[in-house]
Amino acid sequence: MFRESAGFVIFVTMKRTVFLCAVCALALISCNCEKGIKKLSPVDFTDVDIHDSFWSPRLEKHKTTTLAVCIDQIENQTGRIRNFENAARREGEHSGIFFDDSDVYKALEGMAYSLALNPDPELEAKCDEWIDKMAAAQLEDGYINTFYTLTGLDKRWTDTEMHEMYCAGHLAEAAIAYYKATGKRKLLDVAIRMADHMMGVFGPGKRDWVPGHEEIELALVKLSDVTGEKKYLDFAYWLLEERGRGKAIYKEGSTLNEGYHQDAVPVSELSEIEGHAVRAMYLFCGMADVAAHTGNTSYIAALDRLWDDVVLRNMYITGGIGQSANNEGFAEDYFLPNKDAYCETCASVGMVLWNWRMFQFKEDAVYADILEKAMYNGALAGISLSGDRFFYVNPLESDGNHHRLAWFGCACCPSQICRFLPSIGNYLYCTGDGALWVNLYMGNTLKTDGAALEMETAYPDDGKVRITVDNLKSKQLRLRIPGWCKEWNLSVNGQAVDATVDKGYAVISRKWKKGDVVELGLKMEAEAVKADPRVKEDEGKTAIQRGPLVYCIEEVDNPDGFDGITIPASPVFEYNEGVITCDGVKLIPYYAWDNRAPGKMKVWIDEKI
């Protein structure tokens, strides 16, 4: 169901090739290789005002409900904020899991994005209150981690699996988000001191370290960008180069081994996906970000190989990845169980983050296709329609026992959704190569220096998109033709346009003037799709999708003989307000399942013989 992959492993956009010296990371990091790789520039979500029939109600729920749920859980239902209070006093117990600090940082990041879109003095005061507690929990030497502060600092930096750098990465991301939203730099200074602390302990000529859970790498690149300090980029690069060189120590017989941590081979040599899915996504984002700044093309070549392995052999139709609960990660190629699918919500968000970066290098719609698939299905399923219940695991079939919960002991997914939803405006537009790139379709007003326009659409209910130009300095407008779309039409000011299509983007070149209207019609029909025949689980089965949305059947809609439901070999579909019917069977979007009476659910449905 994907376009051929052969074309996009070719590496096309680079200013300069820098060869990676595999055995001598130190020499490489001190080399003058800061040219970077040419890529598109994403438009920031703060320049995109979303007013959309599909997304706006979800963003409103985020603001009114999800944030309050996260704050309540962090302050009242669990000991997460108390850990910071205790750490500030250097006494008291640590409660919860050793990496719980990261949930507070991620929720704070979501609060900061929300503030950037909707100023709210009460929410800002709550952020400041938390930030004061975080700053107070930081030690003199810059170290901040409530688990070790409260359980024994003599043990800090002794076990790479204990997520100290993972938490520091989320601290930095939250700090940068809040600094950008409010101009307040108290938490940014905390993050900087922690980064400086880590660089005082680890690095060239100091101690080795292979972070067990990646995340710090991409965060350090952000920190480098926001501070203008190259040393953080260098440290991210050094951490990436530490991997796969036998530097971490693993416990005998543990599943937490080199493969699980993406530490089996140097990252530039990675070809096959292995191990923990969320860690892999964060690693790949870090590699892409470091490559973008340093020009390390071997990282991009590795990411090309990995993308093929993930997307063509290990991804569900929902964009979900990490099929196995054993390692929260990858298993054999084409082994994609439905009922036992793990598909962590965070991993689907990770697919959005990674594919967004790949797109900026490759300028190819296949990456935006996967981004859209993961966003509208795998990631969006992670939160209830009411905005207050969450999936951690996202199977494609259920016996009726799998339900969203208010929170989790390990709450990475709710806090992930909390920071993801308000920042979806990041994925709509890019600029570069003399064009404005339109990647996703939702009602919005774009306003930047060089581009201002209004987009109206009922997508994904309907494939009609109307863009009214206010100001567009670049000559080219590039509109993504989604991979699922087989027929489309395009007009400018009512005149049909026979646009060329370049790597999945319809290209219109003209001198734009205020009031120009572009209309794109994407034919959106329900269709039956088959899995790759090597996926044994889906043999004799059909899945239904319409536009970017994958559909499923739920017992609440189909109470009679649910297990025996079949789809005809040549199905006829009816579509009405989000619901598809076929041969008396009612289907709803996968993201919306488990919002009514509990019951069974299936994405892959038996085909009628």
Q: Which positions are annotated as active-site residues? A: 328, 412
Dist CA 204 CA 202 (whole Å): 7
What is the 8-class DSSP label of residue 538? G
Using the minimum distance from each CB to Zn ion, give the nearer residue, 108 or 479. Answer: 108
> Contact 231/277 with Cβ under 8 angstroms?
no
Q: CA 240, 242, 245: angle at the middle one, nearest 5?
A: 125
Q: Which of 516, 596, 589 is nearest to 551 (CA)?
A: 589
Dump the DSSP string for 99-111: TTHHHHHHHHHHH
Give Cα separations from 176 to 173, 219, 351, 480, 609 (angstroms).
Answer: 5, 9, 22, 31, 56
Residues 352 to 391 in contact with Zn ion, rule: CB under 5 A? none
Give Cα separations from 279 to 14, 185, 325 (angstroms).
Answer: 27, 28, 14
Out of 97, 221, 413, 506, the only residue in the binding site for Zn ion (CB under 5 A) is 413
Count CA within 13 A, CB hemisphere, residue 533. 0
Using the minimum distance from each CB to Zn ion, give the nearer residue, 42 or 382. Answer: 382
> Contact 195/267 with Cβ under 8 angstroms?
no
Using the minimum distance from each CB to Zn ion, give the nearer residue, 359 or 390. Answer: 390
Q: Which of 374, 489, 387, 527 is nearest to 440 (CA)?
A: 374
What letters, b where the CB count within 10 A reaches 16 and e where it falls short, cover 371-409?
bbbbbbbbbbbbbbbebbbbbbbbbbbbeeebebeebbe
Using the minimum distance from each CB to Zn ion, give the nearer residue, 242 or 344. Answer: 344
Select from 173-181, 315-323, 332-340, 404-412 the region that touches Zn ion (CB under 5 A). 404-412
Using the minimum distance from each CB to Zn ion, give the nearer residue, 214 or 344. Answer: 344
Using the minimum distance from each CB to Zn ion, give the nearer residue, 103 or 456. Answer: 103
Closest approach of Zn ion to the CB of residue 531, in Å: 25
Residues 530 to 559 in contact with Zn ion, rule: CB under 5 A? none
Give Cα separations from 418 to 68, 92, 108, 123, 181 (angstroms).
Answer: 10, 29, 9, 14, 16
Dist CA 170 CA 351 (whole Å): 18
In a 3-state reduction of DSSP, which class is residue 448?
A: coil
In the complex, which residue's CB is closest to Zn ion?
A: 346
Closest approach of Zn ion to the CB of residue 407, in Å: 12
Select from 51-59, 342-350, 459-467, 520-528 the region that touches Zn ion (CB under 5 A). 342-350
Q: Which residues pair with 524 in a beta bridge?
A: none
What is the 8-class DSSP label of residue 338? S
Dist CA 225 CA 475 (whole Å): 29
CA dihedral over 188, 189, 190, 193, signed as positive or negative: positive
x/- track of binding to Zn ion for residues 215-244 (CB under 5 A): ------------------------------
* Backbone φ, ψ for residue 357 (5° rounding): -70, -40
Closest approach of Zn ion to the CB of residue 347, in Å: 7
Closest approach of Zn ion to the CB of residue 349, in Å: 8
Using the minimum distance from each CB to Zn ion, give the nearer residue, 77 or 493. Answer: 77
Q: Is 277 in the site for Zn ion (CB under 5 A)?
A: no
Closest approach of Zn ion to the CB of residue 65, in Å: 19
Dist CA 480 CA 178 (whole Å): 32
Q: Which of 412, 450, 411, 414 is nearest to 429 (CA)?
A: 450
Closest approach of Zn ion to the CB of residue 584, in Å: 37
Closest approach of Zn ion to the CB of residue 415, in Å: 8
Q: Is 412 in the site for Zn ion (CB under 5 A)?
A: yes
> Contact 367/39 with Cβ under 8 angstroms?
no
Amino acid at position 82, single letter: R
Select from 74-82, 328-336, 339-347, 374-382 the region that touches Zn ion (CB under 5 A). 339-347
> End-to-end CA distance of the chain, in Å?
22
Using the minimum distance from each CB to Zn ion, give the nearer residue, 236 or 346. Answer: 346
Using the minimum distance from each CB to Zn ion, give the nearer residue, 414 or 463. Answer: 414
Out of 74, 346, 442, 552, the only residue in the binding site for Zn ion (CB under 5 A) is 346
Using the minimum distance from each CB to Zn ion, give the nearer residue, 236 or 412. Answer: 412
Closest approach of Zn ion to the CB of residue 409, in Å: 12
Closest approach of Zn ion to the CB of residue 136, in Å: 28
Select from 337-345, 421-429, 565-573, 580-588 the region that touches Zn ion (CB under 5 A). 337-345
Number of residues that bind Zn ion (CB under 5 A): 4
Closest approach of Zn ion to the CB of residue 278, in Å: 6
Residues that bind Zn ion (CB under 5 A): 344, 346, 412-413
